[in-house]
Structure 1
């Protein structure tokens, strides 16, 4: 099925306000096909639905997190419905997007990761209500895989850049390659080396923490197997930041796995003035604790239930 059909369906449904039955008859296809195309368009980032509503904060938990982990800021939002991860993710990412709109300024370089939470962040980012000059948005870790739609890295960069009339730079590499030697060779490519230079210069970064669960997007994308993750967990690894794996105390090992990754280094990340860490869902608690102990997050955006679990577990 061609992209041309999907683009026509998008325009007819959202711009011309035609219903799905009318479009299906005109395009000589079924209503279910039209529905699938509209869902695919949203997933690929061609369609955005932005809701900008006030999000209440939980001040008592924010103070505890700031004191315990030395954060510059913590924003704890209501969980609302612990069984609805989409709603939890909406509250966390909208809160983070509202904050970014408050702090972004001319000449900022914003580094962004990818993944399900970051896709929600880009989709829920409120429109920036002003003019701003010379902002750049750079992808912090590679996202190319055989299953492109799982990664969504390019559309995340594109959407955030569009919000600030900024230039966007996608990192055209996988998250991991076969050997450290291949990784080093790729970093020397003229196009890719420019991205790494921008990563180093970035003053705002935005990322989610990845948990070591068996349905991780990195397993689905073919980078790892369930057995690989079981071995990593056995060796005290608890999650990843920008495809860099960290142990329960926030440390990392400068080994083959670390050096096969293509993305910002953890040492570089720790030097940034504003690292916005997004945590949505209690299954991220162990990864979040590791990231907080390691000092990789300066500004935390998290839901209430997960914040309480972190404070209880750690």
Structure 2
């Protein structure tokens, strides 16, 4: 994190550019993360009255609107750098280094939910992956009524221990209720035991109906899975992969996954063995969806995130400040 704000009464000496940046940072914490002014003041090591003035400045100068919309000339430096380097629309959640992984996830999820809402339209087909990050996002969605919209599950959730239906359906149901959309579940395992079984199942009409919805998606929302994440990705901690699977991923130099489809650091994925058994969407096809929103929390996912960006999987990226810094500076 950068230098803390000046203490009460001293912030009038800051340069206009820095003052505008500080106002935006305080506004994001207050309006998108539900932090109180006292909490923001403690985190930024300044006074409550300074935060109050910054919030007033944010409103007066148009930084705060009903929809968060930072024009490129006003966007914080990290967001600009990510946009230029990776070609994605970035939303960086300002969070101090001292905040623990669980709190980082919750605050990223809050801002993600509020960023996604204005992007959802009627007549949309929205693909949603399951996982720890999307589960957190689903708890903070705000209601927006749409018409003739569909939420479709991006990948199966069953394994040898559970059908996965309860876990995945709770996430999908939250999205459906928030946007008044029909929910279409995908009741297949996350991974088939044999690639031949997947090939045969993909010919079944009931399965092809879901695949057709996925092919017509107008938006996809997903996180990035990583074995080494501070909060373990559900696919690695929920009994989906055995030791042999994990060894295969290591041999194939996998750095992460999106919706249980794996990729390497350079974004390649075609010849990764486990993908032939995964029920996640073809990554080349996913890369053609008009709007692809990737939500990432925690610096330990940075290798997976770089791989996802190299594969061209995201058009929009919502991530915490620490991860953003590592993304552009290392």
TM range (shorter): 0.7 to 0.9
Q: Which residue of 1 aligns with 2:40?
A: none
**SS of the residue 2:32 aligns to:** coil
Q: Which residue of 1 aligns with 2:148?
A: 134
Given the alignment, which residue of 112, 115, 136 partners 1:120?
136
Tell me: CA distance 1:82–1:144, structure 2 relative to 1, closer, same or farther (3 Å): farther
What are structure 1's unaligned runs of at least 5 residues?
A: 1-51
Shift, 1:235, TM fit? 3.2
Is 1:170 aligned to residue 185 of structure 2? yes
Q: Which residue of 1 aligns with 2:43?
A: none
Is 1:54 aligned to residue 71 of structure 2? no
- In structure 2, how many angstroms separate the alpha carbons of the residues matched to 1:179 and 1:82? 45
Q: Which residue of 1 aligns with 2:42?
A: none
User: Structure 1, residues 43-88: CA drift from partner, whole Å, max 9, x if none?
Assistant: xxxxxxxxx94349971100000100011x1000022454522221
- In structure 1, how many angstroms separate the alpha carbons of the residues matched to 2:201 and 2:315? 30
Tell me: CA distance 1:102–1:216, structure 2 relative to 1, closer, same or farther (3 Å): closer
Contact 1:115 1:151 in 2 (8 A): no
Tell me: CA distance 1:83–1:98, structure 2 relative to 1, closer, same or farther (3 Å): closer
Contact 1:97 1:124 in 2 (8 A): yes
**SS of the residue 2:292 aligns to:** strand
Matches within 5 A, 1:244-259: 244-259=261-276
Q: Which residue of 2 aligns with 1:28?
A: none
Contact 2:108 2:297 in 1 (8 A): yes
**SS of the residue 1:76 aligns to:** strand
What are structure 2's unaligned runs of at least 5 residues?
A: 1-29, 34-67
Mean alpha-carbon deviation: is it higher for 251-260 or for 271-280? 251-260
Given the alignment, which residue of 123, 128, 132 partners 1:107?
123
- In structure 1, how many angstroms separate the alpha carbons of the residues matched to 2:172 and 2:284? 23
- In structure 2, how many angstroms separate the alpha carbons of the residues matched to 1:123 and 1:200? 27
Is 1:212 aligned to residue 227 of structure 2? yes
Given the alignment, which residue of 148, 155, 160 partners 2:175?
160
- In structure 1, how many angstroms separate the alpha carbons of the residues matched to 2:32 and 2:129? 25
Q: Which residue of 2 aligns with 1:301?
A: 318
Aligned positions, number: 259
